Amino acid sequence: MSRVNETHQSIAVAVIATFLVLLFTTKALSGSPTTTAAKGNQKIPSSPSYWLPFLGHALSMAFGKDSFLAGMRSRFPEGIFSLKMAGRMHHFIYKPSLAAALLNLQRPAEDEQMLANRLLESTFGVSKKDQAIYNKIFPEALAQYKHLSSEPGLSEVTSVALSQVKQNIINLVTFSPNPMDQMEWEKLADVDIIEENAKEGPITQVDLMELTRNFVSITVIPAIYGTDFVENFPEIWKLIWVYNESFVLLATGIPAWVPWPRLQRGKLARRRVLAMLYEFEEVMDRHLNGEENDPKWQNLDNVSKLVKGRIELFRKHGVSLEGRAAFDLALLWASVANSNALIPWMLFELYRDPVLLEQVREEIAPYVNAVQPENEFGSAVWVPPVLEDIDIDGLITKCPLLKASYIETLRVYSGGWAMKLMYHDTVLEERGKGGESFLLKKGTYAHIPQELHQFDPQYFSNPTEWQAERHIRETVDESGKKVLTADMGTLRPYGGGLKMCKGRQFALREMLLYTAAIITFYDMQPPRGGSWGEPQTRKLVANRHPKKPLKVWIKRRGQLAEGEEKEDR
């Protein structure tokens, strides 16, 4: 027996010794400094060593990705480094000039669509047959976004969004304890009436994230999908948020049989949303054919030119109804899951800085026309104030603090991630004198995690702090007068090149419009006189979300009486 035990011990020691030799050999032989390619003057990006063969840096990325990448940024200041994961080399780029070079690469359309096709199938449910049709008509489909990104379409969708805000801003919070009297966005925001008869008006506790993103979704989507869509699918928003929670898992293509609760919830939510969008596409078919529809679908004329143009294009080329519903899911998700979730953060940061909040309110006052109508019924009857108009162009061009707040919110709370597969050996070249060039070999992946630059202390002092003023610049206008402006600088939150976000101009208008309206009509404070504190966040696709509900107390603000003049500013 002792001889058997000795044999087992020897085997165990040999296995452990072999494993340790493997680890240390891998550590010693892996990784490389920046080198020059055999042909030409291009550099090959540096790569740190790793312990485990094949897996490489995959475990470091899976557990503690943010801190690991930040450490690599400090270690490799040239703006690019490479990691080995699952046998593949992945290049990570954070220097703005190199990121711009990658995003602006001129590549065949079929190369650009290969990775996109994977997402269309795994995340949105587009069949291979419909993908093939879409690839052929991609330039025509892309051209439809002119209705959202340029005039006159941009003004048309913005005008619809503004009319919805004018109609609904007074009911962002109804202050009613009766769910039957509450608006749909309130029901999704865990409303709790704190005081109904407070001296300064009623006070309600809400989840700021849920209240705002649902309010924006329900009031902005009529500008794209029409009013009937929102009225007939009131439950779609809750499903979209469940779907968004599982978006990354769906994108990985994990098999459907894997019992991952979040993944299964996401698949179920997607199935239900697709069923609604399939119904919408059937209804649009009948509408475009001049056929009778159910009475609940009588206002389809206000569906946007973008959506109608896509439908007509897809019908012309034979995209199936299932495919059209899946493409609608992609558009709907992109319309509500990104900028909508940033508006609550912009509000949060403004409300917790009272000085900046008052400066922004003063700045926007000439462009936000809100009045209190005369009350002819006495104090027993409450007459709501009215938002008569908002000059959105004025907010964009004449309100640098508001725009700087928008830019800083994008920097701190958004985190897009661009990825490209290198189908050929590719050279990234920095523009300008002294610019470096790097060789990315065929079969490798190139990534641009936007947060690596957005939190780079070489570009942004105290990068984890939200500081709107860092984006303010003093310039001289055409008349020679010094003026303050706000600009993105080196930030590229919407990507670049062919894949640059097509809705970025509308997103800017949307964020400024809703923020200006809400801070004009409402005051917010932490519950029970507490402090705002630093929220704990988690990453969902392209934005950060709070780990816990973002609770605030909200109350109405008074407005100028009709006919009362605003003082000159």
3-state secondary structure of 185: helix
- In residues, how long is the chain? 569
**Which pLDDT does position 317 carry in this prediction?**
98
**Which pLDDT does position 194 carry in this prediction?**
85
CATH architecture of 124-416+455-561: Orthogonal Bundle (1.10)
pTM, full prediction: 0.92
Among 84-88, 94-98, 403-407, the least confident range: 84-88
Which two structure tokens, joined as six digits, stand for 45? 């990006």
**Which pLDDT does position 387 carry in this prediction?**
96
Q: Which residue has the higher pLDDT, 270 or 495?
A: 270
pLDDT in tens, 415-453: 989 999 998 999 999 887 778 899 999 999 999 999 999
Work out the pLDDT band at 568, boundaries 50, 70, 90: very low
Under 8 Å between Cβ of 94 and 432: no
| pLDDT at position 239 over 80 | yes
Residue 533 backbone zone (phi > 0: left; psi -120 to 50: alpha; other: beta): left
**Which pLDDT does position 22 carry in this prediction?**
54
How many Å apart are CA 240 and CA 258, to the nearest integer?
22
Helix axes 128-136, 321-336, angle to 10 degrees: 70
**Which pLDDT does position 433 carry in this prediction?**
74
Which two structure tokens, joined as six digits, stand for 6? 């000795």
Which two structure tokens, joined as six digits, stand for 444? 């490798």
| pLDDT at position 40 over 90 | no
pLDDT in tens, 497-554: 767 888 999 999 999 999 999 999 999 999 988 999 899 999 988 899 999 999 999 9
What integer is the mean pLDDT of 556-564?
A: 79
Which residues have CB under 8 Å from 198's CB, separation 6+? 555
Q: Which residue has the higher pLDDT, 139 or 195?
A: 139
**Within a 13 Å sphere around the CA of 170, how many CA atoms are in the beta-carbon half?**
15
Specify the pairing of strand 368-372 against strand 437-440.
unpaired
Q: Where in the chain is the domain with CATH 1.10.630.10?
A: 124-416+455-561
Round the average pLDDT of the chain to a whole number and report it: 90
The residue among 115, 220, 207 whose CA lies nearest residue 163 is 220
Burial of 462 (0-12, 13-18, 19+ CB in 10 A): exposed
How many Å apart are CA 240 and CA 230, to the nearest integer?
13
399 is in an annotated binding site: no
H, E, C per residue of 59-96: HHHHCCHHHHHHHHHHHCCCCEEEEEECCEEEEEECCH
**Which pLDDT does position 54 carry in this prediction?**
82
The residue among 429, 371, 363 whose CA lies nearest residue 396 is 363
Work out the pLDDT band at 295, boundaries 50, 70, 90: very high
pLDDT in tens, 53-90: 888 889 899 888 999 999 999 999 999 999 999 889 99
Burial of 197 (0-12, 13-18, 19+ CB in 10 A): exposed
What integer is the mean pLDDT of 252-274?
A: 92
Under 8 Å between Cβ of 209 and 540: no
